[in-house]
Amino acid sequence: MNTEILGIILQVALMVLISYPLGRHIAKVYKGERSRWDFMNPVEKRIYKLCGIDPKEEMSWKKFLRVLLTLNLFWFFWGMILLVTQHMLPLNPDGNGPQTAHQAFNTCISFMVNCNLQHYSGESGLTYFTQLFVICLFQFLTAATGMAAMAGVMKAMSSKTTKSIGNFWYFLVRSCTRILLPLSLVVGIILITQGVPMGFEGKQTITTLEGGEQVISQGPAAAIIPIKQLGTNGGGYFGVNSSHPLENPTYLTNIVECWSILIIPMAMIFALGFYLKRKKLAYSIFGVMLFAYLTGVGINVYSEMNGNPRIDALSIAQENGAMEGKEVRLGSGASALWSVTTTVTSNGSVNCMHDSTMPVSGMVEMLNMQINTWFGGVGVGFMNYYAFIIIAVFISGLMVGRTPEFLGKKVEAKEMKIATIVALLHPFVILSFTALSSYLYVHCPGFVESEGGWLNNSSFHGLSEMLYEYTSSAANNGSGFEGLGDNTFFWNVTCGIVLILSRFIPVIGQVAIAGLLAQKKYIPESAGTLKTDTVTFGVMTFAVIFIVAALSFFPVHALSTIAEHLSF
């Protein structure tokens, strides 16, 4: 067997194997059960006391959301102030300047919503201070926010009848101290042993083997890279992200980082089963997500390892596949695996340039984000799937003549309306803003030229670049087709708007659905109850997701990725 293929199989198997016990640990953390991590209690109590928090206070779903949104609003202003004044702050040995107001707006919103879309280069766009006290800080807080939201949803789903969905602060703090921080320390130690820099010295000037000089950026990279992967934050400490030899220096670091991207989203599905004591439901959901993920991996690995037929026609050997935009030390197979792993989650870090992948691979990468339910970001991945479960339950109930119920709660018009809004918002936002940018590009060339022209590629691929940018923003992903010149007023502001709408409206809707269902009278299962933990219902949910989400984007893909593929 090809060693690249064997490496891919082993990586996926390792993810699935480790996610099960990690899921059990996560369920214990949120249920407050005794565990070996109770030595963190004094630290957590100190945090609660310092912040004036009562971790035992029960919150309604409305108060839960109010606290979540208020926290994010505070950190938005924190980030904005630091980014526009970073040149005056300490830990800036390279003398990097401030960000403009519109760039700081985009950066702050992006990292606040767990997207980490970067319209700047990490080495020159930030200082060590803002890397740590904006970027790294947000990467912990935003990941923990998504996990806390899911914990609240799980608590609501597990209760027979209740007006409380738990304490947001309790879930947030425990997500950091007992899940994110321990895993980050383990990954960070591995990265340091492999040569990832960890220090506060400025750039080094070295002499190359050819006798020339090269300036090498460094800094506290090993402190930031683990949480960017584990929290499905993405972003790049260095401009070219995880394809940089100091951010991802060896094949071992590539395996560890790729593993880190998906391990918590996978584990959260098993955590749901342990928390609700409904393992069959978790297996059903996990099976649907894993099937979709492996399908994407198979398509991209095949596409990238077989290379470009136009180059084959020129009789140029492609034994290593389509290697444009990829690192030789990693190979086309590992790059293809990463491209799917980072887009089925809201991670967005890259170890190759997605702009250089084959058109079919680019379509898979975008569809993963456009569907936005296959594992997804930490916490919010299942919550996106949850909205489609509600729709599937309602449709299935009508089709087979059974009462639409989920976990003993009747699904009625209010829940369906919210779920439908959440499901349709995603394609509406992506397609509307892509249409706007396309219109301006064609009909307002003067405006586009004043911002640098935007596109480095025309025709089908140019449309793909704009579609990818808004898709990535709406999915809280952050990766990009980097042929797009995106650090302009238009792209910074419009992407910022997409980021806000696509993060908070779905979270509000999903928590609201869970809270509304939790308040309803519990109905014991009977012969007339629709079973939601079966393979049949899993297939039904997959069909609903594919019809509602995937087919919404078929027309625009016909004009971009599919058209480009057929032009070969």
Check residue 531 and give its pLDDT: 82
Determine the longest span between alpha carbons in the chain, in angstroms.
79
Reduced DSSP (H G I as helix, E B as strand, rest coil) percent helix, strand, coil of the chain, to 5 = 65, 5, 30
DSSP states of 428-446: HHHHHHHHHHHHHHHH-HH
The two structure tokens encoding residue 189: 């130690």
The answer to whether 416 touches 391, Cβ cutoff 8 Å, is yes
For residue 521, is pLDDT > 90? no
Region for residue 211 given its phi and psi (left: phi exceeds 0; alpha: psi -120 to 50; beta: otherwise) = left
- What's the mean per-residue pLDDT of the chain? 89
- Residue pLDDT, tens place only, 408-437: 888 888 999 999 999 999 999 999 999 999
Mean pLDDT over 305-309 rounds to: 79
DSSP conformation class of 483: T
Query: Each residue of 85-132: pLDDT tens digit?
Result: 999 999 999 889 999 998 899 889 988 888 888 888 878 889 999 999
CA distance 191 to 260: 12
| pLDDT reported for residue 129 | 94
| % of the chain surpassing 70 pLDDT | 97
User: Which amino acid is present at 13?
Assistant: A
Backbone torsions φ then ψ of 213, nearest 5 degrees: -110, 145
Average pLDDT over residues 518-522: 88
Q: Which of these, 539, 270, 287, 276, lies nearest to 407 by C-alpha position? A: 276
Alpha carbon of residue 218 to chain centroid: 26
Q: Is 242 exposed, middle or buried (0-12, 13-18, 19+ CB in 10 A)?
A: buried
pLDDT at residue 508 in the model: 93
C-beta separation of 359 from 565 below 8 A: yes
Gyration radius (Cα) of the chain, Å: 23
| Residue ranges per structural domain of the chain | 3-277, 378-566
Q: Is 456's pLDDT higher than 60?
A: yes
pLDDT at residue 227, as a whole number: 94
pLDDT at 199: 87
Give the predicted TM-score (pTM) of the model: 0.91
Q: At what angle do helices 251-276 and 380-400 cross, to 10 degrees?
A: 50
Mean pLDDT, residues 544-557: 87
In this predicted structure, the answer to whether residue 65 has a pLDDT above a threshold of 70 is yes
* pLDDT of 320: 61
Nearest CA among 471, 462, 435 for reference residue 549: 471
43: its two tokens: 């630290």
Which position has the higher pLDDT, 259 or 452? 259
CB 522 within 8 A of CB 144: no
